[in-house]
Chain A
């Protein structure tokens, strides 16, 4: 059974894309066939994590939404980019569907809108075409119709937030909407938890405020900050506490 897992957050800058990229990596390293779609059309970034150069890209998610191609044609295998050492044997596969970084194309999709039922058909077909075990979807933050359409077709919705009061209200709203859309599993990922906080206390505070289970408390990491979104944290710091916490999270998500 393949699974669609959406990684969402109400506010931006919670680390959603970095988490999606690292979960994709961890699942592929464990031997799974994983796809990840960058649906953050307004400000795409996953291509950077996976080192997918603009020159390598023919079609993007935008082209699919405009009916110019199949979603399969916009999927790029990035498995070899995960090998820190060229001798590494990676048993799984990772595929990335990037969004366009061309300002005109971004504006085009935003201005014109697109058929919200398109992703549903496309994602199912992509899973079949690439024989995926897991499809991860990096959403655009906030509550929009396009995002809700993606959320509605997910098996699991993971909502990322920081232990910051600005994030609480919106996260609980999102949880409520996901429940109404009958998403089978909704969970929270708390990111950038300062070591000055008592993690268990913050966890129960957030669970109470948002009315939802917290699946992971990811520590704030200066190393992650210094990586500056250029590479994949879990590959660069395989034994870091953050990597270990992400591994546990990955296992929970596919369980």
Chain B
């Protein structure tokens, strides 16, 4: 049985793309065929983590949404960029990084139903075990759709006042959409915080399980998206926590 997992956050800068890249890599390293789709059309970024240059992008998600190609033609096998330890595969479906194309999709919109069809086709065409969706932050139609068709949802938040409000809204919406399993991941927690306290406070606030509380990491900051953290720092505490989250999401 293949699974669709959405990674979402209400606000930006929570580490959503980094988390998606790390979780995907961990699942692929264990031998799975993993698709990663960047639906953050307004400000794509995850391709950088997988080392996919603009020049290597043949078709993007935008092309599919405009009917220029099949969804599988937008999938780029980036497994070789991830080093020799990959037992499985990672296929990335990037969003376009061309200003004109970003502006066009925002101006003209697109048929959200196409996204849904595309997700299902991808799973079949590429024989995926897992499809990870890196969503656009906030609540909009395509995000709601991604959440609605997901088997599991991870909501990433920082322990920040600005995130607390919005995360509540997201959790509520996801409940109404009957997502089978939902977790909160608290990210970039200052080391001076009491982690257990953060966990129980968040769980009480939203009545939702916290899959992990990740500390702010200088190594992550210094890596500056030049690669996937879990591969560079396989024994780091944060990598261990990502593995824990991946196991819960796939369960």
Contacts and interface: CB of A to CB of B under 8 A. Distances in A.
Interface of A: 10-15, 17, 42-43, 45, 48, 101, 103, 106-107, 110, 141-145, 148, 162-167, 169-170, 173, 176-177, 192, 194, 196-197, 220, 222, 225-226, 228-230
Which residue among B13, B106, B139, B190 has the maximum number of chain A CB atoms within 10 Å of its CB?
B13
A114 to B, nearest CB: 14
B141 to A, nearest CB: 8
A45 B103 contact: no
Contacts of B161: 48, 228-230
A144 B138 CA distance: 15
Contact of A17 (B15, B17, B48, B162): B162
B222 A103 contact: no
**Is chain B's interface secondary structure helix, strand, loop, or mixed overall?**
loop
Nearest to A17: B162
Contacts of B181: none
B224 A163 contact: yes
A142 B138 CA distance: 13
A166 B17 contact: yes
B194 interface: no
A225 B217 CA distance: 12
Contact of B45 (A145, A170, A177, A197): A170
B216 A14 contact: no
B1 interface: no
Contact of B99 (A110, A176, A230): A176
B224 to A, nearest CB: 5
Nearest to B45: A166
B43 interface: yes
Contacts of B10: 43
A123 B243 CA distance: 49
B8 interface: no
A44 to B, nearest CB: 9
Contacts of A167: 45
Interface of B: 10-15, 17, 42-46, 48-49, 54, 97, 99, 102-103, 106-107, 137-140, 158-163, 165-166, 169, 188, 190-193, 216, 218, 221-222, 224-226
9 contacts: A13-B15, A43-B10, A43-B166, A141-B12, A143-B43, A143-B102, A194-B218, A222-B191, A225-B216
Contact of A177 (B11, B99, B137, B140): B99
A53 to B, nearest CB: 13
A220 B221 CA distance: 10
A145 B106 contact: yes
A170 B191 CA distance: 31
A38 to B, nearest CB: 12
Contact of B11 (A12, A163, A225): A12
Contact of A142 (B11, B42, B166): B42
B106 A144 contact: yes
Which residue among A11, A101, A148 has the maximum number of chain B CB atoms within 10 Å of its CB?
A11
Given A11-B12, A12-B137, A197-B222, A226 B48 contact: no
Contacts of B42: 141-144
B107 A145 contact: yes
Contacts of A141: 12, 42-43
A140 to B, nearest CB: 9
A164 B216 contact: no
Which residue among A13, A17, A163, A170 has the maximum number of chain B CB atoms within 10 Å of its CB?
A13
Contacts of B224: 162-165
B144 to A, nearest CB: 10
A170 B137 contact: no
A12 B13 contact: yes
Given A165-B226, A173-B99, A194-B221, A45 B12 contact: no
A194 B224 CA distance: 10
